[in-house]
Every structure is written in C-alpha cells, then in structure tokens.
C-alpha cells in the first residue's frame, strides 16, 4: 500500500530577509524541523522571491545537485568555472557542486522580483567534478501531457544530474488527469503544486502544497482546476 | 560558562572550510575547528574531545573510510557525519541531527 506525506503550503518554514523571501518545505538554514528534513534524496525545496536587482553574493557549494527552476523573472548566474548565464521561465539549470564551486545569483531585472524554485538533491557520488548546465524545457507533445525536465541520463530529455532522479512538469486543464509511473523501484515521487488545485491518491492539494508518495508503482493526478505542478521522482534510500 | 560543543571539520578546499567554520562559530555554544588532512584530524583528536566530526568535500572514499576508522579508534563516542552543500543551507540541521537536539542559541 502506498505511503504518503502531506506538507501544506502554510506549514512550510519561512524566511524574510527583506530582499529575499523564501519558503522552505524542508529544514534549511535557520529553519529546523526534525520532522521536515528530506523526502528521500530530495533535501531542499525552496520557493524563493528575490527583489529587483538584488541577489546572493558569492558563496560556495559542495557535494550537492542544485537545480533552479525560474517561475517569473530572470535569474543571472555567475560561477567559479567561468559560466555566466541568465535563466528564465521555460528553462532549467543544474549545478553539480561536487568538490566545490562558488557562484552568485542575482535578479537581472531591477524593476520586479524574480521567483524561482531552488531544489537540492543528494548526489549518488560524493566529490564529482563540478559542472554547470542549463536547458530550455521542451513543450509537451500534446496538451495535458507531462514533460520530463530532468533525469540521470545525459542522452535523455531535459537536464541530467548525478542521481537516479526524474523530474516532470505537468500543465493540465481542469477536469483532466494524467497517470504517473515511478521510474525506478525504491523511488518515491514528491508532487509540488505550482498553480491551481489537484487531487492525488484521494488527497486534495492546493497551490504550493507538497505531497510525497512511495511504496507504489503509479498514481493518478486529477486536475480540479487549470493547474501546473512539478513531480520529483527520487530514491527513497540512497 | 558552559562548555562549548566541539566540532571538527575536515575538507580539502580551504575557502569552503573557512566558510563552514565561520558559519558554525556564529553559534556561541559551538566551537568549530578546521583541518585539511587526515593526519591533522587524527592529531587534533588526540588533543581534544570532539562531539562531531564533519567530513567536508575533497577526500576520496578511501580516505574517508580510513579517517572514520582512525577517529573512532581514538574517540569512540564521536558522531561522524558527511557534510553536504558547502554553506549555510544544511549545516545547522546536520549538526542538530548529529547531536540529537536543536540547541540553536
């Protein structure tokens, strides 16, 4: 029987630094909740808003797969490997921090906030060579289909990371549904609602709610309104 | 004055190690010390009782395994944990979980 966990939007940790407003699904920085550490290899799910022209100064990372998914606005990235890039909605960025990397992240637009998800996944190997990548997200082949945006495989759709993880974006019209099959035995799926309302496994979810499901092979996501959501399929043990 | 929780941090990247130490030492109840090699870590553990050894980036799997065995032989009760992320994001939670408490100041 499927096991599940619900994290409502209102139950997330929060941080307001003035220029940065962030909601943490899992313990992060000064937000610590021992019951909210991770969902399998998914360790960080931050829902960030950075004021115009502001951003994160140079800071290090190591041994983590860091994925950024812009929702509104443009995020500028510079790193110690010489990468300078801007990502916008419709694109995804991944950084394997490995043995160590430094980077800055700024809102390129001075006039409005940039909103994005920052997602950290534990790597399946420590101390890999650092790498950076970004890609445009493919449009769905047909309406109301999922689009894969991340996988462990360099030759698969979307970006790749050092973990047996698959991410899919869904954009469904009201009263439609999709079935999702978990990619690998031992993985679970974490559904994060970006917009609208859905029902998964009998659980109604609102905007920015998160819902983890594991010990199952597949499940159905029913759109109760026009909706957008992210499915993160990750190892539960790693 | 209460004794501080002693934390030893090992990592080969000096700049990241210094960042981690600076962040840990913002907690007035913690005393974090950094080293860059297994030999330095072993030497420190012969001088000071540490509650936590945080293994940062840069050691090979073999060196991490050797280090764990050597440190456990000197200090059997030490909590040895790998560090992930390289900055403030996960650091405090890693220490709280290792200590089994949230002793945030």
**Domain shared by A176 and A194, yes or no:** yes
| DSSP codes joined into one string, A100-142 | -EEEEEEES-SSS-EEEEEEEE--SSSSPPPEEEEEEPPPPSS
Is A4 a member of any domain? no
- What ipTM describes this predicted complex? 0.91
Q: What is the mean pLDDT of residues A216-238?
A: 97
Which of B34, B57, B65, B87 best probes binding to A when mutated, by most A CB atoms within 10 angstroms? B57
Residues of B in contact with A101 (CB under 8 A): 86
CATH of the domain at A214: 2.60.120.10
> B16 vs A127: CB contact, 8 Å cut-off?
no
Element (H, E) at B56: none
3-class state of residue A10 by DSSP: helix
Contact B11 A62 (CB under 8 A): yes
pLDDT tens column, A112-163: 999 999 999 999 999 999 999 999 998 888 889 999 999 999 999 999 999 9
Which helix (H) or strand (E) segment holds residue B70: the answer is helix B61-74
Is pLDDT at A108 greater than 80 in this prediction?
Answer: yes
Residues 6+ apart with CB under 8 A from A233: A165, A166, A167, A168, A182, A183, A184, A187, A188, A189
- Other beta carbons within 10 angstroms of residue A30's beta carbon come to 12
Domain boundary (A85, A112, A136) is at: A136
Residue A177 and residue A228 in one domain: yes
At CA A29, angle to CA B51 and CA B41, rounded to 5?
30
pTM over 0.90: yes
Q: How far apart are CA A187 and CA A164, in angstroms?
A: 8
Average pLDDT, chain A: 96
Where in the sequence is the domain holding A83, given as residue range(s)?
12-136
| For chain B, domain boundaries | 13-59+67-99
Tell me the pLDDT band of B105, cut-offs 50, 70 and 90: very low
Identify whether residues A27 and A108 lie together within a single domain.
yes
Number of domains in chain A: 2
């Amino acid at each position: 029987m499927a096991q599940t966990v619900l994290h409502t939007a209102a139950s997330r940790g929060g941080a307001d630094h003035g220029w940065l407003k962030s909601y943490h699904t899992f313990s992060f920085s000064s937000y610590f909740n021992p019951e909210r550490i991770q969902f399998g290899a998914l360790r960080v799910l931050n829902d960030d808003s950075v004021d115009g022209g502001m951003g994160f100064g140079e800071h290090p990372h190591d041994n983590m797969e860091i994925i950024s998914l812009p929702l509104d606005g443009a995020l500028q990235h510079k790193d110690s490997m010489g990468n300078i890039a801007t990502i916008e909605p419709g694109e995804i960025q991944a950084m394997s921090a490995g043995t160590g990397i430094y980077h800055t992240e700024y809102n390129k637009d001075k006039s409005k906030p940039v909103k994005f998800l920052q997602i950290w996944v534990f790597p399946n190997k420590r101390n890999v060579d650092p790498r950076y990548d970004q890609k445009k997200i493919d449009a769905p082949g047909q309406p109301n289909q999922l689009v894969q945006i991340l996988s462990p495989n360099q030759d698969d759709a979307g970006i790749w990371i050092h973990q047996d993880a698959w991410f899919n974006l869904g954009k469904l019209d009201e009263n439609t549904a999709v079935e999702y099959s978990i990619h690998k035995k031992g993985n679970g799926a974490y559904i994060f609602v970006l917009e609208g309302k859905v029902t998964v496994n009998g659980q109604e979810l609102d905007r920015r709610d998160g819902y983890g499901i594991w010990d199952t092979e597949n499940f159905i996501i029913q759109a109760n309104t026009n909706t957008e959501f992210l499915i993160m399929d990750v190892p539960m043990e790693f | 004055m209460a004794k501080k929780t002693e934390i030893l941090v090992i990592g080969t990247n000096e700049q990241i190690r210094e960042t981690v130490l600076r962040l840990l030492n913002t907690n007035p109840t913690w005393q974090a010390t950094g080293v860059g090699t297994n030999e330095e870590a072993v030497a420190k553990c012969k001088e000071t009782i540490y509650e936590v050894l945080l293994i940062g980036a840069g050691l090979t799997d073999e060196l991490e395994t050797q280090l764990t065995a050597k440190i456990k032989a000197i200090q059997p009760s030490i909590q040895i944990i790998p560090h992930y992320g390289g900055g403030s994001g996960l650091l405090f939670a890693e220490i709280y979980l290792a200590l089994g408490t949230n002793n945030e100041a």
